[in-house]
Amino acid sequence: MDVFYEIVPVTTGARGRRAATTGYRYTLGDGEGREFVSYQWDQRGRSPVTTPHLHLGSRLVRPGVPFGGVHRPTGKVTLADVLRVVFVEFGVEPQRPDWEAVLRRLRASLRGSKRHPQWRAWTPFGSGKRRLKALPSTL
């Protein structure tokens, strides 16, 4: 998991700064490094595709079907969205019995604050690019 962000001034009249998401790479794979799916958004990467998209790993595509480098548009995806896919679609057992409530609260707080890129204008990359590599300790 990679999340790209920059520190920007708060623009709602309050003083201070906040982190603005400028990109991400959420990749799901097996223990041997083979990718199943990868949700990506990188405004400054090597690819000419700078909008949120999905890559399907070769294990999910039939042989002979040319999907290797295809960028499927997705709209913006949150970590909560990806965790829901992991738990519901891939059948990974969450560590917390209340995981659905936790993800609902997270999405509600993002929607309420309007700080998540899904509910606000995209923030262009600036000189303050940072990279965050961390996962929640339990979910």
Q: How many domains does the chain have?
A: 1
Please tell me whether residue 58 adopts helix, strand or coil conformation. helix
Whether 24 maps to a domain, the answer reads yes
pLDDT at site 137: 46
| Interatomic CA distance for residues 72 and 53, integer angstroms | 5
Residue with tokens 């097996």: 30
CA 32 to chain centre: 22
Whether 108 maps to a domain, the answer reads yes
Whether 131 maps to a domain, the answer reads no
pLDDT at site 135: 41
Whether 138 maps to a domain, the answer reads no
pLDDT digits (tens, 9 = 90+) for 81-119: 999 999 998 899 999 999 999 998 888 876 655 544 444
Low-confidence ranges of the chain (pLDDT < 70): 59-68, 110-139
pLDDT at site 39: 94
pLDDT at site 8: 87
Whether 48 maps to a domain, the answer reads yes
The boundaries of the domain holding residue 71 are 2-126
Give me the phi and psi of 97, to 5 degrees please.
Answer: -70, -20
No. of helices (H) and no. of strands (E), the chain: 2, 6
Whether 139 maps to a domain, the answer reads no
Tokens representing 108? 């509600």
